[in-house]
Structure 1
């Protein structure tokens, strides 16, 4: 078989530089150490700063580097282990069930993003939005918004837009009401994304930092009763697919 066109394409400069930088991280730098500035690094390796930035962004995506506000680019620690799905042994469970490691923060009534609205079968309709967070070892690793239609928790009536209730107590009430529904199944998808400003602030990252977005649909009574959009730090969490009950994130 002859050589394909793809095989004749040279390796991009930034990709080769990424390999060189990765070797340097292993041999010259300790975890938490701040890297020299871009100008010095570009001069050391004889590359343009644009090429250097591409290599650094790839290393950040792979969890080797972290960009921190007011600090700079540092060598990342090993990825921590977290579980994306229900607590081990709990099987399929609603958010807030016993063993759930998420912290409930706030509640608002809002129109969900269009893709979530379509999953709920009610685009453009206000729903309950419960915000939760996740920490490991005191470090923020994930943030989540759970969207629940008012028809699924009828005991908690949606307020007019100008008088919507907010707060952790209201959020906890939504979770308690969900426990009353027979949960039939969960459907999850995972995709790579970039941190939006609000999520970046909550995760102590810079806007645009790589994140892993896990979207979970909770099915009850033959319909989608809730959609959780969980944003995990890609530099901290490595997701692996286990059984159908959850997606454990394993330590690196």
Structure 2
């Protein structure tokens, strides 16, 4: 099989246009400003409207633009900095936690999560659903899987369904000694259920952060958090400021 010399592959016209549009956004437009309509933009840059739409769609995926029905295409604000795992020895639901519990049910976890929890096939676990909002915008949705063995005293608590039961499960989890946790981040596609909560279309790109919490030499809980890839900038153990524009540097 032969090899392809990438240098010889011409850059797609829409990708070059995206670069040109990015420079225009940095120099000519401010956050929240409405862009000219597609016909005017296509005429300005001398491209077909189909090419323009491809470039705009890519910029929207990258979080540079927002397209809202009845408003038009506007320049998006910079990504929201979201700290992930800044506190190495804190259980979910501890003081200062930015997540809001919304529901709790007992379900059989996905096979990959069951493997991490080392639960029996078909065994149900407590599943806490939580949401996270930053600067008035939904940025993440989480499913927290907790085996019944991690919160053995829960049955003695008056814990009704919904958010109240979720808070009760999280309170019981605090009684365990947290020995550590590990995390993994990967690119994924938002599910129909999470899409509604995150105000995205199903299938939109998201960042999936999986966290495994260790206690007593075993996995005591697993968190699967879905972050909006178009508006979030995840930080681990600190913060770094990143601005749009080639002339600005990270500090």
| TM-score bracket relative to the smaller structure | 0.7 to 0.9
Partner of 2:15: 15
Partner of 1:99: 96
Q: Deviations over 1:136-195 (max 9, x none)?
A: 2222111111011112112235xxxxxxx6311110111111111111111111112222
* Aligned-partner Cα distance in 2 for 1:36–1:6: 34
- CA RMSD in angstroms, aligned pairs only: 2.7
Question: Are 2:83 and 2:235, in contact at CA under 8 Å, matched by a contact in 1?
Answer: no
Partner of 2:168: 173
Structure 1-normalised TM-score? 0.81
Q: Note closer, same or farther for the CA distance 1:111–1:42 as it changes in structure 2 (3 Å cut).
A: farther
Give yes or no for the alignment of 1:109 onto 2:96. no
Q: 5+ residue gaps in structure 2?
A: 244-251
Structure 1 range deviating more: 228-237 or 203-212: 203-212
User: Residue 174 of structure 1 aligns to a residue in which SS?
Assistant: helix
Q: Note closer, same or farther for the CA distance 1:184–1:8 as it changes in structure 2 (3 Å cut).
A: same
Q: Note closer, same or farther for the CA distance 1:24–1:166 as it changes in structure 2 (3 Å cut).
A: same
Aligned residues: 237
Q: Note closer, same or farther for the CA distance 1:124–1:52 as it changes in structure 2 (3 Å cut).
A: farther
Deviation at 1:250, TM superposition (A): 5.3
Structure 2-normalised TM-score? 0.81
Deviation at 1:71, TM superposition (A): 4.5
Q: Note closer, same or farther for the CA distance 1:37–1:62 as it changes in structure 2 (3 Å cut).
A: same
